[in-house]
Structure 1
Amino acid sequence: MKKKKFFISVITPNYNGEKYLEQTILSVLKQTDKNFEYIVIDGNSKDKSKKILQKYKKKIDKLVIKEDNGIYDAVEKGIKMASGEIIIWINSDDLLHPNAIENVKKIFKAKPSLEWINGINGYIKYGYKFFGIPYVYPKFIFKFGFARHDIWGYLQQESVAFKKSLFLKVRGFGLKPTIAGDYKLWMKFSKFALLKTYYIKIGYFRSWPGQDSKTKKIEYQKNSNVYFKHLSFRYIRLFISLIILPYIVLKTVFLLNTYKLLK
């Protein structure tokens, strides 16, 4: 029997993520567009993660429970086994917006030449979910390593979608990825393709005391070359993104109309 080919694959890495894992899984399973592949890579968790994963095993297309070398190793394994052309990576403490698959598919189908995109930044803080605006990232921001906390601000991984072929082209995270592997991956992507910004909702980034970016904040900042520890120029990103916002909205509306015509 011929295996089903998906257009989009969703990857969730997990290790001891029992606190929010089920919420993450449900946010993926409750998508308005059900035509996607879901892959979960668990690093042989010691908490109740395995019990949660067994509960949803039949609804997860590919489930791997095996010791790995950390989150980036898990994500890389997931992407390499994915059958989808487009990858959405959502960690086990974050959430997908209900229309994430539908939104991402429309954009990439309407403009097949796209390699990677970002949407509106989504957040979960103090138990509240909300969206901000889509931030723009000119190529020079990545080229000079400015997509970091103290300059332009990090690119929110939960609001990004990219082609598997682009990931393979840059050889993934590399042999020894650091904790800031996503920051370095975006820099590698930018050498081959421009990041395009659209007014669509993809995911929510959760802020909570146990997340890696908080528990390993010093290490993360060190590996993303943060120089100004207590200072940030991110208001420049906000100002420029607000100026460009009407164009981003119009560009998105045009592309979504193009998708309708293609159907």
Structure 2
Amino acid sequence: MPRCFQIVTPCLDSAAFIDDTVASVLSQSGDFEIVYHVQDGGSRDGTLERLEHWQACLENGNFPILCRGIRMTVDSRMDNGMYDALNRGFAQLGVDGDSLMGWINASDRLAPGALQTACDVTAAFPDIEWLTGRITRLNARGSLVHIEDCFAFPAKTLAAGLHDNRHLPFLQQEGSLWTGRLWHACGGLDTRLRIAGDFDLWRRFAGRGAPTVVNSVLGQFRHHDRQLGAGDGYIRELDASFTDAMAAHRAAVWAEYRLLSSPKDLGGLAAHGFTGPVVQFVESLGVWKRVHRFPFAQR
């Protein structure tokens, strides 16, 4: 059976960027099916008209389908924030345990070839429940302005809440994909959070294992003035979500990590769980290879 991807875009008054985001999903090429849902919060700026245009293009055959099939749905209603919209969107799709799922916000992009890369990697390593790519950033005009080095996100540091861009780098949501089984096991997104719901989800996912980092670009995050997480609000919300016990655990894991990483004791870091899986393509052999790396670039 071909792999099925279940992708959701939450949006509200996103006419400036929605075409770019939708096109990045619908133009994916490969041996898979896409079920794509846009959950709109009641836009009044022309977003819904653009979404109707894309649906009409698919229905009329005016957009080339480069995979096995695409189904696109749109729902527009008031919601209680982005994470409520995402939970509603995935519920409307009816998440399948064997699918790979993820979301792409209404200004960001899936990279060309992202979904076929995910198919190839999970075919090579069927035990993968969760994968992500290299951290990348676009400017407001859509120029690809930064591609980060490839490093790992160990389950230990993710579960402790250290990937907050103060201790260790954020895990980029754009291009992250996971199985429906993992989503069901962890209970979806916490709708009490307004901005840092992805950070909370990664912590809970990490309780079941580390994400596999693909040494490739799978998604692209766009910086622009209207994005929800601009400024310090994201950090304040994730800190407020920690209980005293969680904060104490984060501090203890950070102290352990710093003790081993300055100077870098690679053997000690590996022995104490500070590594995570990375896969990269070996061109000379034509295969994907899995290695374990640390949560910083190895030079």
TM tier relative to shorter chain? 0.7 to 0.9
Asked whether 1:12 is paired with 2:28, we answer no
Go from structure 1 to structure 2 and tell me whether the alpha carbon gap of 1:175 and 1:132 turns closer, same or farther (over 3 Å shift): closer
Task: Choose 1 or 2 for highest CA Rg.
Answer: 2
Q: 1:86 aligns with which of 76, 86, 100?
A: 100
What is the Cα deviation at residue 22 of structure 1?
A: 0.8
Asked whether 1:253 is paired with 2:274, we answer no
Aligned-partner SS, 1:147: coil
Aligned-partner SS, 2:205: helix
Match of 1:145? Answer: 161
2:40 touches 2:75 (CA, 8 Å); kept in 1? yes
TM-score (norm 2): 0.71
Aligned-partner SS, 1:200: coil
Runs of 4 or more, structure 1, over 4 Å off, are none
Go from structure 1 to structure 2 and tell me whether the alpha carbon gap of 1:113 and 1:15 turns closer, same or farther (over 3 Å shift): same
Percent sequence identity is 24
Go from structure 1 to structure 2 and tell me whether the alpha carbon gap of 1:256 and 1:176 turns closer, same or farther (over 3 Å shift): farther
1:6 touches 1:37 (CA, 8 Å); kept in 2? no
Equivalent residue letter for 1:31: Q
Match of 1:233? Answer: none
Match of 2:227? Answer: 211
Match of 2:238? Answer: 224
What is the Cα deviation at residue 110 of structure 1?
A: 2.1
Asked whether 1:72 is paired with 2:72, we answer no
More helix by share: 1
Q: Which whole-Å CA distance do the structure 2 matches of 1:29 and 1:256 have between them?
A: 28
Structure 1: runs of 5 or more not aligned: 228-235, 241-246
What is the Cα deviation at residue 182 of structure 1?
A: 0.3
Q: Which whole-Å CA distance do the structure 1 matches of 2:286 and 2:83 have between them?
A: 32
Match of 1:95? Answer: 109
What is the total number of aligned residue pairs between the two structures? Answer: 237
Aligned-partner SS, 1:184: helix
Go from structure 1 to structure 2 and tell me whether the alpha carbon gap of 1:168 and 1:114 turns closer, same or farther (over 3 Å shift): same
TM-score (norm 1): 0.80
Equivalent residue letter for 1:154: F
Match of 1:165? Answer: 181
What is the Cα deviation at residue 77 of structure 1?
A: 2.0
Cα deviation code 1:206-240 (max 9, x no counterpart): 011111121xx33211112299xxxxxxxx8xx99
More divergent stretch after superposition (69-78 vs 217-226): 217-226
Match of 1:48? Answer: 46
Match of 1:124? Answer: 138
1:106 touches 1:256 (CA, 8 Å); kept in 2? no
Structure 2: runs of 5 or more not aligned: 59-70, 241-246, 248-260, 267-276, 290-299
